Amino acid sequence: MKYLSCSADRLQLAERIIEGVWSTYKFPAVEDTKNHKLIFPETNPQGLDLKHQYFHEPSCLHNEGVWHNCMMGLNYVLASKTQLRINEKSEAVNESLHKNLKQLNYDFERNLFRNRTHSPYWDHSTIKIKARPFGKHYEQDDTHCLNTNALSIIYWSFLTQGNIDIEHMWESIQKTFYCEEFNLYKKVPNVQKYRAIDHAILLLAAHLHCLALINDSRRQFLQKLILDLTNVLLNVFNYADPDLIKSYVVPCENENKNSSRIQRFAWQDTWIAITLEMLNVNVDVLTKNIYETFVEQSTGLLYNEPRVNGQTSWGASLCVFTGDLSLFYLLLSLQNKAADHPFSASFDQFLQDNLIMNSISNTCLVAESREFLEPSLWASSELTFALLMSSMDLKF
């Protein structure tokens, strides 16, 4: 079955994935060996399984991290613009989601989100055992990260009854992350490391929030920020010339220059290209460079990093992540190139091979990668986002 051939197929798949995410709230069957039957418990005294159950229906939280909850929230916003069967439930879920996400993760003293806060709904006792190879992503993380907060602004900008003071968030972002000396934004407070990807998500947040604003004084600030961030991406991180790309810079001590790093990642480069494309910056050359830099020649899929003797630049094994592929498909769709690009056929075959289908409920989940075939909230949320965006005439 082809999944990408038309918008109706893509929307149907997005709907099945969302329902698959919701279905993980059900507790797994426990084998009763004495009576030779399966028991389906209604509760688990230790809470939900962090790795396999990433929806808590009473709170509508999707696990405990801000990034994935905001991605799923954006999916519900996009779904509301379609005629999906699940729209009524999606709206109800989204209404509870943003309220409980704020209650769980918002730092009211700093007016910023923490990355991840443990809740009473999930079992944290087996993180290191069950959550490999990505166990660290399930641990408590009180860090205020720029890209997480920028994505939260994107999500809240689409909420008509949002419960976050975005004006104060912008003030906190400037105070916490901005370095006037270099005219750059830090990844995290108090660490002078400046990544292109953080500037891209912040740029997208400024662009989308500016469109939703009535306040003229704040719009002027955001319009200037948009120009500054676009210039930084194109001319400081050099995304105007892909041969000279610097993915992040670190100021050198006792010198009047910066140390730049070329370490590239497919998800970062693709998010940057998507952002620039949505601001009507021509990224045809960048898109071609991303494909040629990360492509696996034998399959037409994209590795997570450029290939260096069959490995990443730091010696780890290369992976083909579903999230990376989903974002690149979205980039091609925004450029109206998906139908004719050879990547699309490769990606469609990848989905046929790696979707985790439930034929009884007609729902599905998405594998983390070709190398890690277990279902993943990250992969499911980003593929859904790409499917919905590519099926609509949305050019913000």
pLDDT digits (tens, 9 = 90+) for 171-204: 999 999 999 999 999 999 988 889 999 999 999 9
Residue bearing the bigger pLDDT, 379 or 212: 379
Query: Do the beta carbons of residue 222 and residue 210 sit within 8 Å?
Result: yes
Average pLDDT over residues 284-309: 92
Smallest Cα–Cα separation from 379: which of 363, 367, 362, 370?
Answer: 367
For the cut 70, the answer to whether the pLDDT of residue 240 exceeds it is yes
Residue 254's pLDDT band (cuts 50, 70, 90): very low
Compute the average pLDDT of residues 95-106.
95
Residues 6+ apart with CB under 8 A from 4: 10, 329, 338, 344, 347, 348, 351
**This prediction's pTM:** 0.91
What angle in degrees, to the nearest 10, is found between the helix axes of 322-334 and 284-294? 150
Q: Which pLDDT belongs to residue 364?
A: 94
> Tell me, what amino acid is at 131?
A
Domains identified in the chain and CATH numbers: 7-390 (1.50.10.10)
Mean of pLDDT over the chain: 87
Query: Regarding predicted confidence, which is higher, 165 or 160?
Result: 165
Which residues sit opposite 321 in a β-bridge? Answer: 369
pLDDT confidence of 163, banded at 50, 70, 90? low
Per-residue model confidence as pLDDT tens digits over 22-70? 999 975 555 556 665 545 455 555 688 888 889 999 999 999 999 999 9
Q: Is the pLDDT at 75 greater than 90, yes or no?
A: yes
